[in-house]
Amino acid sequence: MFFSFTSFLFLLGLLLLAASIRVVQEYERGVIFRLGRCVGARGPGLFLLIPLIERMRKVDLRVVTMEVPTQEVITRDNVTVKVNAVVYFRVINPVDAVIKVIDPVHATSQLAQTTLRSVLGQSELDELLAHREAINQRLQQIIDEGTEPWGIKVSMVEVRDVELPASMQRAMAAQAEAERERRAKIIHAEGELQAAEKLAEAARIIAREPVTVQLRYLQTLREIAADNASTIVFPLPLDLIRSLFNKRADG
């Protein structure tokens, strides 16, 4: 009888010891409650709890990558777009994350969705497409301020995809095509202007030295004569004939 009672006590002691031993990983913290009152966080490592008096709730401190579901947003210039985002956050105060919010991940997700619709609703479409980094910083700041009382730090928010209506895509494509045509016309006009300036400069040189016309004429004939398979009929300049007659008359 004494052996049985001793065995019972020994077994009970082992059970109580097993129930009081807790192991917390390096990336976790254990929030301890003693008779319902929070007494702080412990870990990482091995420690003991008072059986039936203390209980522990583990909190993961690693970065959580949360995808914000696609939200349909109307921008400030009345364009309907579908946007989704990614939020990176982690718990920095495990006690607040346990006692101040039921589910910190779900609460952060709901706050991120609301903030995404609010911020993008105050932005124009061009700002959303061209200045996405500034919008990301604004989203991160607002969400971080909202989750700070919960012991959560939002490190980064990235707007990932922006889906435009088909009509808006066609309008933007037409705008881009018109912009390219405008640039092409400007470049062509600038080329014509430079060519005209060079021709005007050449005309001024020719006006000072008339013989350059004949030199240019002979150079053109030489370029044409490079192809021996062609028969070329060309007019003879009167100035050249007149100069030949003048030489014969002088002779």
Distance, CA of 198 to chain centre: 46
DSSP three-state, residue 149: helix
What percentage of residues in the chain have a pLDDT greater than 90?
32
Beta-bridge partner residues of 23 = 46
Chain length of the chain: 251
Q: What is the mean pLDDT of residues 231-239?
A: 63
Q: Give pLDDT tens digits for 51-88.
A: 888 889 999 999 999 999 888 888 888 888 889 999 99
pTM assigned to the model: 0.66
What are the backbone angles phi and psi of residue 149, rounded to the nearest 5°? Answer: -65, -20
Give long-range contacts, CB 8 A cutoff, 24+ apart: 2-6.
none
How far, in Å, are 39, 57, 145 from residue 61 at the CA level? 19, 13, 19
| Pairwise CA distance, residues 84 & 173, whole Å | 23
What percentage of residues in the chain have a pLDDT greater than 70?
79
